[in-house]
Chain A
């Protein structure tokens, strides 16, 4: 039984750029991980080959197999969450137990008024 969760207050995942966001990262793993990382990432999707960037990382070394932590990130001012005809920019929080590959990801929106920029 392994379970990873990212819990946002009021399940809100739409944010303004520059906003400070807080959430709970929780995990319940079969074995004790070396570390657990919470990553703020953006990636592209669409016609082009994927670009991905880990913008910020919080690392918890020698955690318990079952634990939860409060995490706070200050979001950058860009790039905005964006959807065009060829490409999209998608923001996400990723929770990863290392060195294994147990992980989960929750996509968020980072754009003015929390609304993805849509063009085309």
Chain B
């Protein structure tokens, strides 16, 4: 029974996606600027500026001095509080700079060692700027604690990655995904080309004033099946995920390690506090992500199957021949299962988050073996059921067909590769 209702194409709301996109870009810029800006500021204060002072002080004049005050200051983090006096150009001057890295850090012991060396009343040498004797320092070289000055770098890297994603990555990622989807999934417009084009009684052009909700697009090469077979491309590589996880783990653990090291001396003395409890989940997440990256690196080293399909587009009710081989051997592969899978994918927004749900509507095992002589290469016929839905890409909603290649490897991550194929309407 036909329903009567208002036209949906009148009340278009293209602004939502654009608005989300604008907010996304704005948020990305603010987020990246915060990380990069604050990171840069701290890098200047804690590493670059002290480094320049070290270089500048290399030409300062070595001058005898007397320590008049020497102590360790601080409760959670510590710094050396030191004062000395010296005579330069016949005038008495005072200085209070031990080195150029004037930052309170954890670890009282190292500061106590400095204080013990520079006892009150002891004679030492300091280095004085001949152009401005008010500037002087006791230790003008680099010190181990200057490594602390590099801790803002991960924050700057996060900011730079954010900028890259905002300015280049979104387009590249989107284009890459669109290209992959167009290669893998027949979009709805495919059908438009199959109608034999226009009829005289109507225009096939999109209405110029329209902003379509659907972003299904196609390019001409997707509309016609070229004769010959196609080598299927894997949906994603474990190496890509492994690199992403490793990158995340390095940044995450780099930041967390700053806090861990600041508590290290306390732990050595079994001096545990509430802040240590807060650190635990952060440390566990860091370890977990790092282990996940290792797992994916291992999975990336699995034997790589090459799948060749005898035709690029398979119509509903049609068939194609699937050949597979392992060019570099099967390694420790012990079991192989090749399946045909059809699934729905729905992407939806809730607030500022985007979710993707999938539902499998067809799963058929095409081939399964534990015989080692059948693993390395073979062929199987792929029959697409006729009473099904063809590949469809509406933008947010998709019907995806894929070959699922699963290999069991004992004591090692399994081969779990998905190869999208294009199923088109009936011939």
| Residues of A that sit less than 8 Å from B by CB | 11, 13, 17-18, 20, 37, 39-44, 46-59, 71-80, 82, 84-87, 89, 92, 94-96, 101, 103-108, 112, 117, 119-120
| Residue contact B387 to A117, C-beta cutoff 8 Å | yes
B130 to chain A, nearest CB (A): 71
| Residue contact B199 to A89, C-beta cutoff 8 Å | no
The interface centre, meaning the residue of A50, A75, A92 with most chain B CB atoms within 10 A of its CB, is A50
| Residue contact B195 to A119, C-beta cutoff 8 Å | no
Given A77-B191, A94-B8, list of 14 further CB < 8 A pairs? A39-B9, A39-B207, A48-B346, A50-B396, A52-B214, A53-B213, A59-B203, A73-B201, A78-B190, A87-B397, A89-B392, A92-B8, A104-B7, A107-B2
| Residue contact A49 to B396, C-beta cutoff 8 Å | yes
| Residue contact A87 to B346, C-beta cutoff 8 Å | yes
Task: Kindly state the separation between the CA atoms of A42 and B11 in the bound complex, as whole angstroms.
Answer: 14
Q: Which residues of A contact B338 (CB under 8 A)?
A: none
The interface centre, meaning the residue of B3, B5, B6, B344 with most chain A CB atoms within 10 A of its CB, is B344
| Residue contact A82 to B202, C-beta cutoff 8 Å | no
B386 to chain A, nearest CB (A): 8
Within 8 A of A (CB), among B93-108: none
Task: Let me know if B424 is at the binding interface, CB within 8 A.
Answer: yes
B123 to chain A, nearest CB (A): 77
How many of chain B's residues have a CB under 8 angstroms from any CB in A? 57
The interface centre, meaning the residue of B7, B190, B195, B202 with most chain A CB atoms within 10 A of its CB, is B7
Q: Closest A-chain residue to B197, C-beta based?
A: A74
B106 to chain A, nearest CB (A): 49
Q: Closest B-chain residue to A17, C-beta based?
A: B425
Knowing A84-B361, A105-B4, say if A51 contacts B346 (CB, 8 Å).
no
Task: Let me know if B347 is at the binding interface, CB within 8 A.
Answer: yes
| Residue contact B204 to A84, C-beta cutoff 8 Å | no
Task: Kindly state the separation between the CA atoms of A115 and B188 in the bound complex, as whole angstroms.
Answer: 18
Knowing A48-B396, A52-B213, A82-B389, say if A76 contacts B191 (CB, 8 Å).
yes
Task: Kindly state the separation between the CA atoms of A110 and B201 in the bound complex, as whole angstroms.
Answer: 20
| Residue contact B6 to A105, C-beta cutoff 8 Å | yes
| Residue contact B346 to A46, C-beta cutoff 8 Å | yes
Q: Which residues of A contact B9 (CB under 8 A)?
A: 39, 41, 52, 54, 94, 96
B interface, over-half SS: loop
Q: Which residues of A contact B204 (CB under 8 A)?
A: 55-56
Knowing A48-B396, A50-B396, say if A95 contacts B188 (CB, 8 Å).
no
A50 to chain B, nearest CB (A): 6
Contact of B426 among A37, A53, A112 (CB under 8 A): A112
Q: Which residues of B contact A59 (CB under 8 A)?
A: 203
| Residues of B that sit less than 8 Å from A by CB | 2-12, 188, 190-192, 194-196, 199, 201-207, 210, 212-216, 342, 344-349, 357-359, 361-362, 387-390, 392, 394-397, 399, 424-426
Q: Which residues of B contact A92 (CB under 8 A)?
A: 7-8
Task: Kindly state the separation between the CA atoms of A31 and B337 in the bound complex, as whole angstroms.
Answer: 66
| Residue contact A55 to B214, C-beta cutoff 8 Å | no
Q: Closest B-chain residue to A94, C-beta based?
A: B7
Task: Kindly state the separation between the CA atoms of A119 and B212 in the bound complex, as whole angstroms.
Answer: 27
In order of increasing CB-CB distance, the 7 nearest A-B pairs are: A48-B346, A51-B394, A78-B191, A103-B7, A94-B7, A51-B214, A119-B361
Contact of A79 among B3, B4, B191, B357 (CB under 8 A): B191
| Residue contact B11 to A85, C-beta cutoff 8 Å | no
A74 to chain B, nearest CB (A): 5
| Residue contact B216 to A73, C-beta cutoff 8 Å | no
Q: Closest B-chain residue to A8, C-beta based?
A: B2
Q: Closest A-chain residue to B212, C-beta based?
A: A53
19 CB-based A-B contacts, threshold 8 Å: A11-B2, A18-B195, A39-B207, A47-B346, A48-B348, A48-B357, A53-B214, A53-B394, A58-B203, A72-B199, A73-B201, A80-B390, A84-B361, A85-B344, A86-B359, A94-B7, A96-B7, A104-B5, A119-B388
Q: Which residues of B contact A48 (CB under 8 A)?
A: 345-348, 357, 396-397
